Amino acid sequence: AQKITQTQPGMFVQEKEAVTLDCTYDTSDQSYGLFWYKQPSSGEMIFLIYQGSYDEQNATEGRYSLNFQKARKSANLVISASQLGDSAMYFCAMREPLPNFGNEKLTFGTGTRLTIIP
């Protein structure tokens, strides 16, 4: 079963508008973390924002915020005032524990390709 689901393969948004990228997750763990990464056309993976499962407030980093709804198991990324440079692939990821105690991995969603229209 897919643990991270991104239902929007692609999105087109007008420049300066806000955009929400959806992410839902599935876990039975009480302690977990959610991440968003950006991948521009050049290919590198850029960390954007992190939300811990025990964090009571939604994470924010500049124009990025994470709309964390724990009961719904959703962790949507909100980009305010979108810019042309925001055009990229965006991945949601969840930290999962591994059998080796104290170690973990990231499980990724399939990504959303965001295109900002001038």
The residue count for binding another protein (CB under 8 A) is 24
Contact 51, 36 (CB under 8 A): no
User: Which pair of structure tokens corresponds to residue 91?
Assistant: 């991945």
Q: Which residue type sits at 39?
A: Q
Q: How many CA atoms lie within 13 A of 58 on its CB side?
A: 14
| Out of 44, 56, 71, 118, the residue judged to bind another protein by CB under 8 A | 44
| Out of 20, 22, 27, 33, the residue judged to bind another protein by CB under 8 A | 33
Nearer to another protein, 4 or 13 (CB): 4
Hey, which residues between 49 and 108 contact another protein (CB under 8 A)?
A: 50, 91, 93, 95, 98, 100, 102-108
Q: Residue 42: how many CB atoms within 10 A of its CB?
A: 7
By the rule CB under 8 A, 117 interacts with another protein: no
